[in-house]
Amino acid sequence: MKGVTQKQQNILDFIVEFKNSEGMSPTVYEIADRFSIKTSTVFAHLRAMKRKELITRTSKARSIKVCGMDEEGDVIRLRGSRDNKFLGSAAVTTKNHAAFLRKALETMGCTEVVIEGVEG
């Protein structure tokens, strides 16, 4: 199975941000509007993200749930830096996803990769 694409990560981050600010998950139409894409494209991304076990959803509106996200919206956070420059932070939802991103950051030459919220 392929890793998370940049577009899928962007959608995942939007879902987390939306849920944290609005107290509910976005609809497919809100995701499409945010990224200026067709709803059919959103459905394709959501199906792929569901196969990768990043989200769960039903046919009901606002049913998207990020795997590993608790009711308060907490997710695993991953930070990376290279040459004493902070490269950024990303929300990751599973230990496998965190491990995948850690390896990617290390491949890019990150000297410090910190994963917050992962036990063990």
CB-count exposure of residue 19 (10 Å: 0-12, 13-18, 19+)? buried
The reported pTM is 0.60
- H or E, element range at 11: helix 6-22
What are the average pLDDT values for consecutive 10-residue runs of the chain, which has 120 residues? 79 87 92 96 93 86 77 49 56 64 66 54
d(CA 111, CA 107): 10
CA distances from 98 to 20, 23, 51, 94, 105 (A): 20, 25, 17, 6, 10
